[in-house]
Structure 1
Amino acid sequence: KTPFGALPVWEEPGRPPIAHSNAILVLIGRRHGLHPKDDFEAAQHENFMCYVEDLRAKVSPTLRIKDADEKKKVREELATSFLPEWGGNVERLLGDGPFISGDKLHVADIKLHMAVRWFVGGAVDHIPATVFADFKKLTRLHDAVRDDARVKAWYAKG
């Protein structure tokens, strides 16, 4: 039932399934006013969402490293090379915020927040929770999503 042999998959009666988180997020965002209507602005948001996938593609394989010393080495390298570069690239593209498109929260903001939250929360051993601390705009976006009343209500559900 999975179109590409992996999750996530979005299903609706009478329609073919949709795979890949970004496609699903864009659909949900369009339906609920959480994705820009302007084509170029929407593409900018999708650009950020794809860049989060680049981050995941680089970091996720380290979850499968069995050897503790090797895992530590690889993650410490990520913390001093790829992750600061990734954060710097996002930082350069963010505007005056607090979100990607100013004052309006969109699904791309939530996706960026979730990626940063993974590290800020200390969930990835051998990568300091402060890895993105020097990126003020990225930190501001993360905090603005975290502090949004709707996001707080979602987390309060447990």
Structure 2
Amino acid sequence: MAKLKLTYFDVHGGRAEPIRLALYLGGIEFEDYRFSYGEFPEVRKSTPLGQVPVLEIDGLAVTQSNALTTYAGKLAGLYPKDDFQALLCEEIMGSVEDVTSRIVSTFGLQGEALIAAREKVTQDYLIPHLNWLTTKLGDNKYFIENTLSVADLKTLAHLAWLNSGRLDHIASSLVAEHAPTLQSFFNQLMQHPKIVEYYATH
């Protein structure tokens, strides 16, 4: 087994969280290197493209969060083997990444500019995206083949962020109010024994 080192901010959530969860659930050993926001200017000097997460695989640094999530999912047995189901898995992860980028684009704004930007993101992207995810999930427990996959873990981290109250001018009740099926999915997944174990120890 390759030696793995994952580098990301010292936070619960974010783009590295699905990678961390997949590796943990799969029983894959890895170094979970976390750093503070204040350390990022120095850390980014040694990362590909000056960004994180980065996964070092036997010393080779690889970036791009969805690619790393896919890789971790394959190692952990949490990625579909069927090509079409893999496509659907990537569709879910890509859509979550797209809307995450929309939110991140509002970082640094203040005052009325931030309020306006967050309201636009909520109405034009977040609510339609939550509705789309609800349709994709349907009556199933999980998104892909009704089996736990990294599509679920990516969505879990995203919903946790939206529910956290850390995003000013995006209501923490947004998911529950506009996508109660997704809120139920989130609540259920947070009770998964290995996920409970992960958060109890991290």
Which residue, 45, 48, 72 being the options, matches 1:3? 48
What is the CA–CA distance in structure 1 between the aligned matches of 2:63 and 2:121, rounded to whole Å?
28
**Normalized against structure 1, the TM-score is what?**
0.88
User: What's the Cα RMSD here?
Assistant: 1.8
SS of 2:48's equivalent in the other structure is: coil
Question: Counterpart of 1:111 in structure 2: which amino acid?
Answer: K
User: What is the percent sequence identity of the aligned residues?
Assistant: 29
- Give structure 2 stretches of 5+ with no counterpart: 1-45
Question: Counterpart of 1:42 in structure 2: which amino acid?
Answer: A
1:138 maps to 2:185? no
What is the CA–CA distance in structure 1 between the aligned matches of 2:58 and 2:123, rounded to whole Å?
47
Q: Which residue of structure 2 lines up, in the alignment, with residue 154 of structure 1?
A: 198
Question: Counterpart of 2:166 in structure 1: which amino acid?
Answer: A
Deviation at 1:95, TM superposition (A): 3.1
Q: Which residue of structure 2 lines up, in the alignment, with residue 85 of structure 1?
A: 128
Which residue, 73, 80, 89 being the options, matches 1:36? 80
- Identify which range, 47-56 or 72-81, moves more after superposition: 72-81
Which residue, 108, 129, 137 being the options, matches 1:64? 108
TM-superposition CA deviations, 1:77-119 (whole Å, max 9, x none): 3223321111111112223221113542211101101111111
Deviation at 1:140, TM superposition (A): 2.8
Deviation at 1:132, TM superposition (A): 2.0
**Normalized against structure 2, the TM-score is what?**
0.70
1:23 maps to 2:23? no
Q: Which residue of structure 1 lines up, in the alignment, with residue 150 of structure 2?
A: 107
What is the CA–CA distance in structure 1 between the aligned matches of 2:154 and 2:171, rounded to whole Å?
20
Bigger fraction of residues in strand: 2
SS of 1:27's equivalent in the other structure is: helix
Query: Contact 1:29/1:106 (CA < 8 Å) preserved in 2?
Result: yes
SS of 1:18's equivalent in the other structure is: strand
Question: Any runs of at least 4 consecutive aligned residues in structure 1 with deviations exceeding 6 A, and if so which?
Answer: none
Deviation at 1:64, TM superposition (A): 1.4
- Give structure 1 stretches of 5+ with no counterpart: none
Deviation at 1:141, TM superposition (A): 2.3
What is the CA–CA distance in structure 2 between the aligned matches of 1:31 and 1:102, rounded to whole Å?
18
Query: Contact 1:94/1:100 (CA < 8 Å) preserved in 2?
Result: yes
Higher relative contact order, structure no. (Cα contacts within 8 Å, ≥ 6 residues apart) = 2
Deviation at 1:144, TM superposition (A): 2.3
What is the CA–CA distance in structure 2 between the aligned matches of 1:37 and 1:80, rounded to whole Å?
36
Q: Which residue of structure 2 lines up, in the alignment, with residue 50 of structure 1?
A: 94
